[in-house]
Amino acid sequence: MKVDHFKGRKIVGGKARGQALVSPEPICFLGGVDVKTGWVTEVGHCLEGKNIAGKVLVFPIGKGSTGGSYLIFESVENGVGPCAIVNRTVEQVTAIGCIIAEIPMLDQVEPDPIDFIHDGDWVEVDADAGTLRILSNDEARELSESALHGAAAR
């Protein structure tokens, strides 16, 4: 069954489009993500060695210390944070981080996007409407090309 539209609950409003980075494991920003570079550094984590910068980060729930809220904010301030976060279940640390960093955030998304979205899929989060959508190949190609042109112009 192909699923490309999802409905969830708005935690932090806003809209974002980007490539998905998906983890079936919880993520801890305190010690698990280098907020200066965006690299996931938690040893043994399925995303270890991958970069969250500009990605729609999809994972079940955050874990770790309350310091993680500020680290989410710091990653955005450093230009290496995610453009949106989608969780199965929100918890306070990730929610507060998204609020202060103004990162669009959804939770309670149905069907479970972890089962249908893959790393590298281009997705659109409209937290205001409570929706998540996998973009069509044409839309993804257009975004990918505009990202390449933007990088070449820098």
Separation CA 38–CA 51 (nearest Å): 5
Residue type, 105: M
**Of 124, 131, 83, whose CA–CA distance to 109 is shortest?**
131
Residues 5-22: b if buried by 16+ CB within 10 A, e if exposed: ebebebbbebebbbbbbb
Q: Which residues are catalytic?
A: 65
Orientation angle between helical segments 92-101 and 67-77, nearest 10 degrees:
30
Helix (H) / strand (E) containing 71: helix 67-77
Helix (H) / strand (E) containing 109: strand 105-110
**Residue 76: which residues within 8 A CB-CB, separation 6 or more?**
101, 102, 103
